[in-house]
Amino acid sequence: MAVLDRVSSPRDLRRLSDDDLEQLAAEIRTALVAAVSRTGGHLGPNLGVVEVTLALHRVFDSPHDPIVFDTGHQSYVHKMVTGRRNAFSTLRQEGGLSGYPSRTESEHDWVENSHASTSLSYAEGLAKGYQLKGDADRRVVAVIGDGALTGGMAWEALNNIAGQPDLPLVIVVNDNGRSYSPTVGGLAQYLDSLRTSPLYERALGAAKVVLKRTPVVGPPAFTALHGVKQGIKDVLAPQGMFEDLGLKYVGPIDGHDREAVEHALRAARGFPGPVIVHCLTEKGRGYDRAEQDEADLMHGPGPFDPATGKPTAAAATTWTSVFSDEIVAIGTRRSDVVAITAAMLQPTGLKGFADRYPDRCYDVGIAEQHAMTSAAGLAMAGLHPVVALYATFVNRAFDQVLMDVALHRLPVTIVLDRAGVTGDDGASHNGMWDLSLLQLVPGIALAAPRDGSRLRELLVEAVDVSDGPTVVRFPKGAVTNDVPAVQRVGTTDVLVRDGDEEVLVVAVGSMAPVGLEVAQRLADHGIGVTVVDPRWVVPVDASIVDLARRHRFVLTIEDNGRVGGVGTRIAQAMRDAGVRTPLHDAGIPQEFLDHAKRSAILTQIGLTGQNLARLAVEEIARLAADSPSNVPASHAEPSRSDD
Ligand SMILES: Cc1ncc(C[n+]2csc(CCOP(=O)(O)OP(=O)(O)O)c2C)c(N)n1
C-alpha cells in the first residue's frame, strides 16, 4: 500500500517512520507531476516544498496552529496531506479543488490568497490576536518564498513583527532563489550570499550533525541551535540583516533534509518570539523537466506530457505574444521607451524586450506599487515607461497610479494582461476590477483592444500620449481573429451597421465577437443593429453618445465588473448630454467567482451572444409595447427559439 494512501490528516504523518516519510515524499512528487500534467497548475513551487511541508505538519498542530502559505500556489502538498489527496484529478476544474488555499475546502486553509506577500501580515495579526486572547499554546507559521519576500507588504509586516520581540511567530523562508525568473534585488543578493558560499556548504554538513544531537525543548534548545547557526551565519553574512532587524534567525537549512527542517522548526516553535527559519529549496525538485527549467515554464504549466514536459495543447498565438512582439518593435523605434515588470518577465511578454534591450528593462520584484512610482520617476527623467502587469495585480498599485503618475500628468503606459475572466485560477485571479478602478483616475486613457491588430495599434497610440497615464488591457489566452471595422467615427470603430438604428451594441475589447453574435441574432429577428468598439473606453468618445441618441436601446458588453464599469461610464456620459435612451450594462456581476473555465463562467454570468440577444429582443419588444406606433409590428413578440 502506498504511504500516501495511509495519510488522511497531518496526525497520520506523525506516526510514520523516517523510511516511510522518504517514500512518501517520492510518492507526493509522482502524484504532483501526474495531477498537474493533466489539469495544469503550479508544479515547480510544489515540488520544491515537499519536505518543508511534511516537516511543518509533523511539528505544528494544524489547524490549531495556523500555517499560512504566502501566495498559496505552493499549497498542493499541504492539500495532499490534509485529506484532499483523492480530489487531485479535479484540480482547478469547475466544482473541484482550487489551485490555491480555500477555506471552503478545509479547516487547514486559513486564508484565500494568490496575491503575494500577505502571509506575514496575516500571521502577525493571528499571533497578536491569540496573544491578546491568552491562547498561549497556539503557534502561527507563515511560509514565504524569497520572491514573495520582495513585496512591500512583507517588509511592512517584518517591521511590525520586529517591534514585538515576544510575539510567538515562525516565519519559514522558502528560498529557492527564484520568483518566476531568478529573484532580483538586494534581499535576493543577501539570501544568495547565504546560499552559494562554499563555506556554507562545508559548515552545513557539520551543523547538521550538531543539529540532530541538539535536544529540542524550548528556548534553551533554540539558543543552542541558534548558537551553532549564528556561528555559521556570521562567517558567511557578517551584516546579519534579519538579526539586525531584531528577528531571531535559524539557517540556512537544507530544505530537502526533512529531519533538519523538523529540528529547526521544533526549536523555533519553542522560542517565545518571532523566528525566521531559512530553508534552501530547489524549485522543481525531483522532476528533471522542472529542475532544468531556466525559462521557468514549469512554474505554472498548462497540461503537458510528463515524459517530455511538452505542452499537450497546440501552441496558439496569444495576446501576450502579440504585445511581446509589438513592444520590441516600439522599443526599436523609440529609445525613450523602457519597460518594467513586477517579477513576471516571461508571463507578461517582456522577455523579448529584455533580451533585446537589457538596459531598458527592469524587473523590480513582486513590487507593483514600487513599479508604478518608479515608472513615475523614469517618466520625470524624460523616458516613457511601460509597466506590464496582470490586470488583477494593478489593484495593488491604485494609489500610485492616482497620485504618483496621474497627478503629475506623467506619460506612463500600463499594460494589463489577463484582463477579464481568467477562470481556472479562481476569484482572485480574475481581472475584473481594472476598468472600474482606473477610470476613477483623472486624465487617464483606457484602451481595450478587440483583436491583435488593435492591440498593436492601441499600444502605439498609448506610448504616443505624452501627458498622463494610458492603459491597454487585454485578456488571457489565444488572440481572436481580427474583426475588421466598416468605419471609424471619432476614436470608435463601427463593426456592424444593419438596418434601422434600433439597438446600439457597445462591445468592449475582447467582447467584440459576442457583440457580433448579438448583431447576427438581432438581424435574424429583423431588428436593426449597430455594433461599435470604442477602442478607447475612457474618456468616452462623443460619437458613442451621438449614436446612443439615435438608437432605441443601448447594450454595453464588457469583461469587467458591472459596478463602475464602462457601461456605467457611458450611461453617465449619456445622462450628462441629455440622452435618455435606455441602456443595459452587461458585465461581470460584483461577486467572487469560483474557479472554472472562462467559457463556462461567461455562460454562467450571461455574457453570451444568445443571452444578450434575447435581452435586447425583449427590451425592443417592451419598448414597442410602451409605444407601439414607433416599432415595426414584427418586433413586438420576442422569439425564444434559440433559448
Ligand atoms: C501581488 C502579486 N504579484 C505577482 C504575482 C505573480 N506570482 C505568482 S507566484 C510568483 C513568484 C513567487 O515567488 P516565490 O515567493 O519565491 O515562490 P516560488 O514560486 O519560488 O516558490 C509571482 C511573481 C502574485 N501572485 N502576486
From the CB of residue 486, how many other CB atoms can be counted at a distance below 10 Å?
A: 11
Interatomic CA distance for residues 521 and 80, integer angstroms = 48
Minimum-distance ligand 1 atom for the alpha carbon of 145: 15
- Tell me which DSSP letter residue 540 carries: P
- Tell me which DSSP letter residue 304 carries: B
From the CB of residue 611, how many other CB atoms can be counted at a distance below 10 Å?
A: 17
234, 287 contact by CB (below 8 A): no
Ligand 1 pocket residue status of 180, Cβ below 6 Å? yes
Ligand 1 pocket residue status of 300, Cβ below 6 Å? no
Tell me whether residue 291 is exposed, middle or buried, using C-beta atoms within 10 angstroms of its C-beta: 0 to 12, 13 to 18, 19 or more: middle
Ligand 1 pocket residue status of 42, Cβ below 6 Å? no
Radius of gyration of the chain (CA): 27
Minimum-distance ligand 1 atom for the alpha carbon of 149: 15
Ligand 1 pocket residue status of 475, Cβ below 6 Å? no
**Residue identifier of the C-alpha nearest atom 4 of ligand 1:** 366
Ligand 1 pocket residue status of 364, Cβ below 6 Å? no
List the beta bridge partners of residue 416: 389, 473
Positive or negative: CA dihedral 627, 633, 634, 637: positive
Cα angle 107, 39, 344 (rounded to 5 degrees) comes to 85
From the CB of residue 217, how many other CB atoms can be counted at a distance below 10 Å?
A: 11
| HEC per residue, 147-171 | CHHHCHHHHHHHHHHHCCCCCCEEE
Minimum-distance ligand 1 atom for the alpha carbon of 144: 15
Minimum-distance ligand 1 atom for the alpha carbon of 71: 25
List the beta bridge partners of residue 170: 141, 275
Residue 612 to residues 505, 554, 580, 586, 637: CA-CA distances in angstroms?
Answer: 10, 12, 21, 8, 16
From the CB of residue 273, how many other CB atoms can be counted at a distance below 10 Å?
A: 17
- Give all strands (DSSP E) within 32-106, no chain letters: 67-69
Minimum-distance ligand 1 atom for the alpha carbon of 73: 9
Task: Give me the half-sphere count of Cα atoms (radius 13 Å) on the Cβ side of residue 397.
Answer: 30
Catalytic residue among 51, 326, 368, 517: 368
Interval between CA 175 and ligand 1 midpoint (Å): 12
Q: Cite the DSSP H helix spans in 558-628.
A: 566-576, 598-604, 609-626
Interval between CA 41 and ligand 1 midpoint (Å): 13
Cβ neighbours for 512, distance < 8 A, ≥ 6 positions apart: 450, 451, 480, 483, 495, 531, 533
State the pairing for strand pair 583-588/337-341. Answer: unpaired
- Tell me which DSSP letter residue 247 carries: -
- Return the amino acid letter for 106: S
Per DSSP, the three-state class of 143 is: strand
* Regions of the chain short of the pLDDT cut 50: 198-239, 633-643
- What is the pLDDT at residue 641? 38
Counting ligand 1 atoms within 8 A of each CB, the residue from 49, 71, 76, 363 with the most, and so the one to mutate, is 71
Ligand 1 pocket residue status of 396, Cβ below 6 Å? yes
Q: Within the chain, what is the greatest distance between any pair of CA atoms? A: 94
Per DSSP, the three-state class of 311 is: strand
Ligand 1 pocket residue status of 283, Cβ below 6 Å? yes
> pTM of the entire structure?
0.91
For residue 142, which of 167, 177, 179 has the smallest C-alpha distance?
167
**Residue identifier of the C-alpha nearest atom 10 of ligand 1:** 179
Ligand 1 pocket residue status of 429, Cβ below 6 Å? no
Interval between CA 115 and ligand 1 midpoint (Å): 8
Torsion of CA 591, 595, 597, 602, to 10 degrees: -10
Minimum-distance ligand 1 atom for the alpha carbon of 179: 13
Ligand 1 pocket residue status of 109, Cβ below 6 Å? no
Interval between CA 116 and ligand 1 midpoint (Å): 6
Catalytic residue among 283, 454, 562, 614: 283
499, 437 contact by CB (below 8 A): no
Ligand 1 pocket residue status of 344, Cβ below 6 Å? yes
Positive or negative: CA dihedral 32, 37, 42, 47: positive
| HEC per residue, 452-491 | HHHHHHHHHHHHHCCCCCEEEECCCCECCCCCCCCEEECC
Interatomic CA distance for residues 281 and 505, integer angstroms = 53
The distance of Cα 106 from the centroid of its chain, to the nearest Å, equals 22
Interval between CA 372 and ligand 1 midpoint (Å): 18
77, 50 contact by CB (below 8 A): yes
DSSP string, 153-219: HHHHHHHHHHT-TT--EEEEEEE-SBSSSB--SHHHHHHHHHHH-HHHHHHHHHHHHHHHHS---HH
Catalytic residue among 79, 360, 396, 562: 396
- Return the amino acid letter for 340: I
Cell of 51: 519536505
List the beta bridge partners of residue 6: none
Interatomic CA distance for residues 401 and 394, integer angstroms = 9
554, 580 contact by CB (below 8 A): no
Interval between CA 73 and ligand 1 midpoint (Å): 8
396 is catalytic: yes
Interval between CA 178 and ligand 1 midpoint (Å): 9
Interatomic CA distance for residues 371 and 435, integer angstroms = 19
Minimum-distance ligand 1 atom for the alpha carbon of 146: 16
**Residue identifier of the C-alpha nearest atom 7 of ligand 1:** 116
**Residue identifier of the C-alpha nearest atom 16 of ligand 1:** 147
- Return the amino acid letter for 326: E
- What is the pLDDT at residue 194? 63
The kind and range of the H/E element at 386 are strand 384-390
Minimum-distance ligand 1 atom for the alpha carbon of 396: 1
Task: Give me the half-sphere count of Cα atoms (radius 13 Å) on the Cβ side of residue 525.
Answer: 29
Interatomic CA distance for residues 55 and 51, integer angstroms = 6
From the CB of residue 581, how many other CB atoms can be counted at a distance below 10 Å?
A: 17
From the CB of residue 483, how many other CB atoms can be counted at a distance below 10 Å?
A: 19
Counting ligand 1 atoms within 8 A of each CB, the residue from 179, 187, 350, 368 with the most, and so the one to mutate, is 179
Number of H helices, E strands in the chain: 24, 18
